[in-house]
Amino acid sequence: MKRILAGLFFVLFTLTFLMKAFSQEMQLVDKVYDENIFSVLLYADGDQLQLPAIELGSDEQLMFSFDDLSNQSYLFKYTFVHCTADWQVSDLNQMDYLEGYFEGEIRNYKFSFNTRTPYIHYQLSFPNDEIKPKLSGNYLLKVYLDDGDTPQPIITRRFYVYESGAHVSASLSTRPKNIPYLKKKQEIEMQASLSSSLMDEAAQRVVVNIFQNGRCDNALMGLHPSSVSGSVLYFDFPDGLVFDGGNEPRFFDIKSYRYLSQSVKRIIPESQYYDVFLHTDLQRIGMPYETYKNIQGRKLITARSDQDASVEGDYAKVHFSLRMNKLEHASVFVMGALTDWRLAAPAKMTYNLQKKAYTLSMYLKQGYYEYWYVVLPDNQTKADIVKVEGDHWETNNRYTIFTYYHNRTPEYDKLINVKQFVAHQN
């Protein structure tokens, strides 16, 4: 009998442990884990459009903010997690890469004012006197509630701390290695010059990641130099560094609910929010390329000039529709900063047989938003932008190149350069 009870206790303990572990599972990506959290921003230089990257040892700070739509304030805590170049948790201890405390508290918050949707706006600037990184590399900001032995993650956001160790030059090639890619795909030409202190085993220790706009699903990861000559590293591969050209993003402007801006069909005030219906979108594959000034799929949380968007910006349920035939063995997603660039459930569209269109509704704050439609084949992780948006070499995509050097003692991936450029723009 005792053995049976012991066995039952072990099973219950194991199930409890596994349930807790599953509920606490943190992903090393930009993600919101709580249904009441909206409008998460993390950026540098006081500019929402800036990459969240700061130089090690500088006075630069990152700005972080979010809205909590629950009906009471909480004491949110935060910490930083150091990661490898391929976004795994580093083997370092927190004392190795953090200066000050290992966690801090988000004390700066305000209640919304005169909005249909009530919320609490939280803000944080870091590094600060509480906590700051002392090594370069990839970092994850983890926000959580300290409500017991297993603190629940609420928000995770990637950011970068870099140091000077390389000079990277990169541009768009006008002569792709594969002729069928001409005027369609975008091929990156790049090389890097290392400082003399980092030349030891450079071909093995240096690795590069290239991102198109904010997407992770189509990123080129873990690229080692193809050759090294003196202090110069070359990245010249037989198939090239190639991305789909895609198309310029679609957009809508809801900085004000008083008028119908371009792309907005109608606005209906509800008791707790606004209903915003966008004009029905169509496929652009095969359509002529059209250019216009844009922000490469990012978002701006902003409002009318007489409003403080942080606490007076109101929320809307925005309704998307894409008229096209239903795809077999594939799903359609809205892609952009408004969906954290993720192919996740909140961005997945549903096919409406009556409308013969894919539809999706999202809860968004006043602002300006850009987006694309992408197709994800079943059992795949990389989405296809071409099937809906077309494929144009002229598209002004933004590319970000991260260059790392694997340090031996202590063992971690230094971030030695961050290079950004927009195709066709100097």
Segment 222-233, tens digit of pLDDT = 999 999 999 999
| Mean pLDDT of the region 164-183 | 90
pLDDT band for position 19 (cuts 50, 70, 90): very low
Of 219, 86, 66, nearest to 141 by C-alpha is: 66
Please give the structure tokens belonging to residue 391. Answer: 């494929």
Report the distance separating Cα 37 and Cα 290, nearest Å.
36
pLDDT band for position 166 (cuts 50, 70, 90): very high
Return the amino acid letter for 248. Answer: E
Report the distance separating Cα 149 and Cα 147, nearest Å.
7
Express each pLDDT in 26-67 by its tens digit. Answer: 999 999 999 999 999 999 999 999 999 999 999 999 999 999
Express each pLDDT in 237-250 by its tens digit. Answer: 999 999 999 999 99
Place of tokens 């959580």: 144
Which residue pairs, CB below 8 angstroms and at least 24 apart, start in 350-353? Answer: 351/326, 352/321, 353/326
pLDDT of residue 23: 41
pLDDT band for position 9 (cuts 50, 70, 90): very low
Contact present, 367 and 252 (Cβ < 8 Å): no
pLDDT of residue 426: 63
Q: Which residues pair with 168 in a beta bridge?
A: 192
pLDDT of residue 49: 98
The fold of the 166-245+396-422 domain, in CATH, is Immunoglobulin-like (2.60.40)
The fold of the 20-162 domain, in CATH, is Immunoglobulin-like (2.60.40)
DSSP 338: G
| Mean pLDDT of the region 167-194 | 91
Give the domain ranges of the chain: 20-162, 166-245+396-422, 253-371
Same fold, 20-162 and 166-245+396-422: yes
Report the distance separating Cα 164 and Cα 198, nearest Å.
11
Residue 15 has pLDDT above 80, yes or no: no
Residues above pLDDT 70, as percent of the chain: 94
Phi and psi torsions of 296, nearest 5°: 55, 50
Return the amino acid letter for 64. Answer: F
pLDDT of residue 179: 84
